[in-house]
Amino acid sequence: MDADKKGSRAAVYSRKSRFTGRGESIENQVELCLRYLQEHGGGADGILIYEDEGFSGGSLDRPQFRKMMKDARAGDFSSLVCYRLDRISRNIGDFAKLIEELNRLHISFVSVREQFDTSSPMGRAMMYIASVFSQLERETIAERIRDNMLELAKTGRWLGGTTPTGYASEAVRSVTADGKTRKSCKLKLVPEEAEIVRLIFHKFSELNSLTKTETFLMQNGVKTRKGNWFSRFAIRNILENPVYMTADSDAYRCLKESGAEIFAGEKDFDGRHGVMAYNKTTQAGKGKQARDKSDWIVTTGKHPGIVTGAQWAEAQRLLQQNRSKAFHKPRSGIALLSGLLRCSGCGSFMRPKLTRRLSPSGEPVYTYLCEMKERSHGQNCSMKNVCGNDLDQAICDEVKKLPEDSESFLALLDKEYRSAESLTSEPDAEAERLHKALLENDRDVSALITALSEAGNTPAREDILHRINELHEKGNKIKNQLDKVENANRICALSSVEYSAVVRQMSSFPEMFDAMTAEQKRAALRDLLEKVVWDGETAHVYFSGKEPLCDRRK
């Protein structure tokens, strides 16, 4: 970048751990930084704004922060402004390295709240001192949270949120020594759900397999409280949740061996109540993650347990034993329709499964089978499998027919060129809109990941996971649209001679397609096809944005 341009440009960075809409919100931080720049005559040639919402200050692993540093190294701005020091980082080591790199890049750093400016030696010194206190604050907050966890452990109460399968939340009022009435919550048993939990522990112990337990529940019509099928993920969460364990001597011994901090005496584990565990998750980067059992703070709860301590301990032993052979979807490196092929019977995806046979050409033979059929062992869906090698080849042959009518194909290319011209009439504005939409989508995913941890080990996790998957699909659509805008911009940048060369090259599409690698073909099919539906006899091919243009009978 030109030095003069760099010298007149500023960047603003804002961060908040989670969305609240109050206080030092992203918008308020940006507005205050812009006001500061306006008052000090900064950012004459435009201001770059970077926003990270839903990310902790304990780590620099944030998408917009990484983009900001990439732009800084490219020389896109000469000054960086933030509202407060801890918006950048709460870690003194990370902060010191950042300031050192900004100095090396000749980029000044300004904190509006503390009025520090690294352009002066005193400003740099005071900034380092403030950063030390910022890290101290972060560590103090962490200690305070743990102290609160220890206080909660004295009560053994339920903290709220979606209750685990087998229980419901019940309000309890108590009178303190000073005569004040306090309200708290405890778990109460839901008998019909508790029977499902007992069944899950019993069948897993008997079958020693999450997959077989899932199949058993499907075949016997056992569903979650929301009417969904129990997934392997939901079953494992139930098995790992200590809330179901009766606080008996086996439970005490198991938790003691795991290294958990038990905030109760051995005599309190008398088999009368269940176990309550706190401090099970930690916020790290984009969301919360499960802590090791050694970080748990455990006590006896006010609810009844559902399984014995010995049953829970046995489930943990089997889970650990089977971890190395946990369920993995068999994959074929040459299958092309993964994520596109669906079963017409139940709507589930059909996935490739390798056989032990080889084709006459020496390639591995694979079939596509319905995921619901496999999970229920044919009880909930009986869709006929299809030979993957043959179906992939048939679909590829159909796709290669697209440019057979060269006149129509070239007309289509010309239409795309004209469409690209109109699409990129304001390329920067459209690209910026899509970038913001993608960032907002990422924030929603991050918030749901946090909610997933806060939901606990309950069936609600399935709904949250479903929503996360929906947002991932939405994000992919935004990315595809962004690719189209950027590609259209590149197309319009071609000269007429270059465009003609591209047209000649694209007219030989069949030969180009044949020369592609399996990964390239897979990507091309995802661009061209919306989905392929198999009904047991015929594959219905849906091209993007159109009705099915062809059926391939196998």
CATH number, domain at 267?
A: 3.90.1750
Q: State mean pLDDT over 471-491.
A: 69
Q: Which of 119, 144, 169 is the last residue of a domain?
A: 144
pLDDT at 166: 93
Shared-domain flag, residues 249 and 285: yes
What is the DSSP track for 223-268? Answer: B-TTSPBPPHHHHHHHHH-GGGBB-SHHHHHHHHHHT-EE-S-GGG
pLDDT digits (tens, 9 = 90+) for 138-195: 555 555 555 555 555 456 567 666 789 999 988 776 655 566 666 668 889 999 999 9
- Write down the H helix ranges in 105-189: 121-155
Q: What percent of the chain has pLDDT over 90?
A: 19
120 and 67, same structural domain? yes
Average pLDDT, integer, range 186-208: 93
Residue 189 lies in a domain: no
Q: What is the pLDDT of residue 410?
A: 55
d(CA 132, CA 424): 48
Helices (H), ranges, 8-120: 26-39, 63-73, 85-88, 92-104
Give per-residue pLDDT as tens, 323-373. Answer: 644 434 444 467 888 888 999 988 888 988 888 888 887 888 999 999 888
Which residue range(s) make up the domain with 476? 341-553
- Contact between 389 and 366 under an 8 Å Cβ cutoff? The reply is yes
> 123-127, 299-303, 313-317 — which is least confidently predicted?
123-127
318 lies in the same domain as 354: no
CA gap 34, 264 in Å, rounded: 54
Same domain, 349 and 496: yes
Mean pLDDT of 195-217: 92
**Average per-residue pLDDT for the chain:** 76
The whole-number pLDDT of residue 312 equals 95
Hey, what are 160's tokens? 């709220």
Higher pLDDT, 147 or 531: 531
pLDDT average, residue stretch 453-459:
64
CA-to-CA separations, 177 to 56, 150, 180, 183, 242, in angstroms, rounded: 40, 21, 7, 14, 32
Would you state the pLDDT for residue 12? Answer: 93
Q: Does 355 share its domain with 503? A: yes
What is the reported pLDDT for 21?
Answer: 46
pLDDT for 287: 46
Question: Is there a domain that residue 87 lies in?
Answer: yes
User: What one-letter code names the amino acid at 497?
Assistant: V
Q: Is residue 335 part of a domain?
A: no
Residue 206, pLDDT score:
92
- Domain end among 75, 110, 144: 144
Rounded distance between C-alpha atoms, residue 355 and residue 363, angstroms: 11
Q: Are the C-beta atoms of 351 and 338 separated by less than 8 Å?
A: yes
Confidence band for 552, pLDDT divided at 50, 70 and 90: very low
Rounded Cα distance, 465 and 445, in Å:
10
pLDDT (0 to 100) of residue 309 = 93
> Are β-strands 287-290 and 281-284 bridged in parallel, bridged antiparallel, or unpaired?
antiparallel
pLDDT band at 124 (very low <50, low <70, confident <90, very high): low
Q: Are residues 348 and 426 in the same domain?
A: yes
Q: What is the identity of the amino acid at 171?
A: A
Domain end call among 266, 297, 325:
325
Position 383 in a domain: yes
Q: Determine the average pLDDT of the residues in 374-389.
A: 87
Give the pLDDT band of residue 25 (cuts 50, 70, 90).
confident
27 and 125, same structural domain? Answer: yes
Together in a domain, 210 and 138? no
Residues 139 and 222 reside in one and the same domain: no
| Least confident window among 93-97, 271-275, 313-317 | 93-97
Query: Which of 91-100, 184-193, 499-508 is the least confident region?
Result: 499-508
Measured in whole angstroms, how far is the alpha carbon of residue 508 from the centre of its chain? Answer: 40
CA-nearest of 83, 84, 106, 85 to 96 is 85
364 backbone dihedrals φ, ψ, rounded to 5°: -60, 140
**Single-letter amino acid code for the residue at 263:** F
Own/partner contacts of 466-472, CB < 8 Å, gap of 24 or more, are 471/441, 471/444, 471/445, 472/445
Query: What would the two tokens of residue 221 be?
Result: 């019509």
Q: Residue 553: helix, strand or coil by DSSP?
A: strand
Residue 102 lies in a domain: yes
Q: Which residues contact 82 (CB under 8 A, 6 or more apart)?
A: 12, 13, 14, 29, 33, 88, 109, 110, 111, 112
CA distance 330 to 47: 49
What whole-number distance in Å separates Cα of residue 61 and Cα of residue 69? 11
Q: Are residues 398 and 536 in the same domain?
A: yes
The mean pLDDT value for 92-103 works out to 75
Q: Are residues 125 and 224 in the same domain?
A: no
Asked if 307 and 201 touch (Cβ cutoff 8 Å), the reply is: yes
3-class state of residue 178 by DSSP: coil
Phi and psi angles of residue 291, each rounded to the nearest 5 degrees, phi first: -85, 160
Say if residue 23's pLDDT is above 60: no
Output the six-digit token pair for 12: 């603003």
SS3 assignment, position 389: helix
Instruction: Note whether residue 172 is domain-resident.
Output: no
pLDDT surpasses 60 at 538: yes
Number of H helices and number of E strands within the chain? Answer: 19, 19
Burial class from Cβ neighbours inside 10 Å (0-12, 13-18, 19+) for residue 154 reads exposed
Which is nearest to 276 in space by CA: 345, 216, 198, 187? 187
User: pTM score, two decimals?
Assistant: 0.46
Q: Which range scores top for mean pLDDT: 3-17, 167-181, 250-264?
A: 250-264
Coarse DSSP helix, strand, coil percentages of the chain, rounded to the nearest 5 percent = 50, 20, 30
Residue 157: inside a domain: no
CB neighbour list of residue 99: distance below 8 Å, 6 or more residues apart: 109, 118, 124, 127, 128
Q: What is the CATH number of the domain that holds 137?
A: 3.40.50.1390
Count up the domains in the chain and report the number: 3
Q: What single DSSP character describes residue 349?
A: B
Q: Is residue 126 part of a domain?
A: yes
Give the pLDDT band of residue 131 (cuts 50, 70, 90): low
Where is mean pLDDT largest: 105-114, 191-200, 375-384, 493-502?
191-200
- For tokens 């690698």, name the residue: 517
* Residue 304 sits in the same domain as residue 349: no
pLDDT in tens, 47-93: 899 998 878 776 788 889 999 999 999 999 989 999 887 788 766 66
Q: Give the model confidence (pLDDT) of 270-301 as tens digits.
A: 998 999 887 776 654 444 567 778 778 888 88
